[in-house]
Amino acid sequence: MDKDLPRLYRRFRWFNMIWTVTSLGALAVAFVLVLVEIPRDGGWKSITVALLVLVQAGLYLRFIVYGGWPFPLRWIGAYFTFSLAIWLVEVWLAPQVWWLGFPYLGQMYGMLPLFPAFLGSLVVIAAMVWANLRLEFLTLSPLDLLGGLAGWTPMILFLLYINHLVQTSQRQGSLIEELRQAQQELEQARRRESELAVLRERERLARDLHDSLGHALVALSVQLEAIQRLYRVDPDRASIQVDEMKTLTRDSMDALRRSLAGLRAPGLGARSLRQALRELCQDFSQRTGLECSARLETCIEDLNLPLSETIWRVAQEALTNVEKHALARQVRVTLACQPQGVLLTIEDDGIGLPEGAESGAGHYGLRGMRERVTGLGGVLSLENIHPGTRVEARLPVFVPLKLAGE
């Protein structure tokens, strides 16, 4: 539909309508004039030309009026091939219809690239000159040639201008369509990344529950069986086991609260990345009693949503690991902008990572962090420092394309 076309295409709507009326009107006039000639000569030529004019009108209606703009090159190539061939036959049979070539000149320069339009116009002009020579309307005298050149020059310049406008419109329309497709692909990629983030959070929660609550329940079950056996033979040892079960139950409840807190975390929401990271550090300090400082550069406000969400989730997981395992006193969170991306650094002064921490059982959080970072084309590094651990996430910056005005 016309409303679905790029704006530059719609500019030619009235021009197309005027040219359609002119082309079909010229064919109608030619048809009437040929019909008038049939009683005079009674020959087959006039009847054939009249039928060919009707075929021309049918081709124009089929290919141009109902073909849809912009026209495919093969579509209009077929139209001009058949329609011009019919017109050349008409000119050969009845040179009086030579003037039907004028609409073809406008059509070719309005629909074809410049070079094919130029070649086609040479054919049309040559046929028109031949018909005028045959009708003795034109001679090959220098004066006639000079007058013809003076008459044709303004029209050719006007047609060249129309061709330039149409070709520019088509190129810009193609670029707009490519931008729309790129925008749709980026939007689909963003949705897929959001879905993957949800799945990763579910996997993380399942792993946390398995590692903490699952193991604790197994241990409690074993201890209950031991207490059941010891209760009659060694009450004191059974009482010690009960105390251990209480401690294990409290630790399991704390681990469950941490997992549920991570599940309830709404992500960035309407907050900026800077605000979310500062609140994350403040909550961490209040909950653990550890000193947590944040140094965040101002340029991070321009990061896109998937990148900001990943940075926040990685920082959240890193601080959770510090709380659970590091035995640290201080934590530093730094987010700096670099020429090719951003660098997130979390350092603590704890006991450091054990050997093979990421590949060992029970460290799914570290793997989840790496999956998040590598999923956006980044690099995650873990290293022990003296004292403590440094976690670095290097992420490239990418900005989704947006069409002008959107």
- Structural domain boundaries of the chain? 2-138, 269-399
| Proportion of the chain above pLDDT 90, given as a percent | 6
Confidence of residue 403 (pLDDT cuts 50, 70, 90): very low
Listed residue (101, 115, 124) closest to 167, CA to CA: 115
- Separation of alpha carbons 333 and 353, rounded Å: 18
Query: What does the pLDDT read at residue 138?
Result: 62
For the beta carbon of residue 142, count every other beta carbon within 10 angstroms: 8
Topology at the third CATH level for domain 269-399: Heat Shock Protein 90 (3.30.565)
Query: What does the pLDDT read at residue 323?
Result: 84
- Separation of alpha carbons 153 and 27, rounded Å: 25
Helix (H) or strand (E) holding 347: strand 341-348
What length is written for the chain? 406
Confidence of residue 346 (pLDDT cuts 50, 70, 90): very high
Query: What does the pLDDT read at residue 345?
Result: 93
Listed residue (314, 319, 204) closest to 267, CA to CA: 314
For the beta carbon of residue 34, count every other beta carbon within 10 angstroms: 23
pLDDT value at 255 more than 50: yes
Query: What does the pLDDT read at residue 4?
Result: 42
Q: What is the DSSP letter of 405?
A: T
Give me the residues paired with residue 295 across strands.
334
Q: What is the DSSP letter of 219?
A: H
Query: What does the pLDDT read at residue 2?
Result: 42
Confidence of residue 404 (pLDDT cuts 50, 70, 90): very low
Confidence of residue 334 (pLDDT cuts 50, 70, 90): very high
- In this structure, of 146-160, 258-272, 283-297, the range with the lowest mean pLDDT score is 258-272
Query: What does the pLDDT read at residue 333?
Result: 93
pLDDT in tens, 362-392: 556 777 788 888 878 889 988 888 888 999 9
pLDDT in tens, 49-82: 888 989 988 888 887 777 666 667 777 888 888 9
Query: What does the pLDDT read at residue 357?
Result: 64
pLDDT value at 201 more than 60: yes
Q: Which of 104-118, 192-206, 376-390 has the highest mean pLDDT?
A: 376-390
pLDDT mean across residues, the chain: 77
pTM (2 d.p.)? 0.42
Query: What does the pLDDT read at residue 399?
Result: 41
Q: What is the DSSP letter of 139?
A: -
Query: What does the pLDDT read at residue 5?
Result: 45
Residue 405 gets the label, from left (phi > 0), alpha (psi -120 to 50) or beta, of left
CA neighbours within 13 Å on the CB side: how many for 184?
6
Of 76 and 127, more confident: 127
What's the whole-number mean pLDDT along residues 291-312? 83
- Separation of alpha carbons 283 and 275, rounded Å: 12
Helices (H), 94-141: 101-111, 114-134
Of 268 and 163, more confident: 163
Query: What does the pLDDT read at residue 344?
Result: 93
Q: Which of 51-55, 110-114, 116-120 has the highest mean pLDDT?
A: 51-55
Listed residue (93, 96, 119) closest to 104, CA to CA: 119
Amino acid at the residue 23 = S
| Proportion of the chain above pLDDT 70, given as a percent | 76
What's the whole-number mean pLDDT along residues 80-93? 89
Amino acid at the residue 237 = R
* Sheet order of strands, 330-338 included: 291-296, 330-338, 341-348, 389-396, 379-384
Query: What does the pLDDT read at residue 390?
Result: 92
Query: What does the pLDDT read at residue 405?
Result: 34
Confidence of residue 300 (pLDDT cuts 50, 70, 90): confident
Query: What does the pLDDT read at residue 235?
Result: 80
Query: What does the pLDDT read at residue 8?
Result: 46
pLDDT value at 222 more than 70: yes
DSSP strand pairing (291-296 vs 330-338)? parallel
What's the whole-number mean pLDDT along residues 251-277? 69
Query: What does the pLDDT read at residue 332?
Result: 93
Give me the residues paired with residue 181 across strands.
none
For the beta carbon of residue 188, count every other beta carbon within 10 angstroms: 10
Cα–Cα–Cα angle for 176, 179, 185, nearest 5°? 145
pLDDT value at 267 more than 70: no
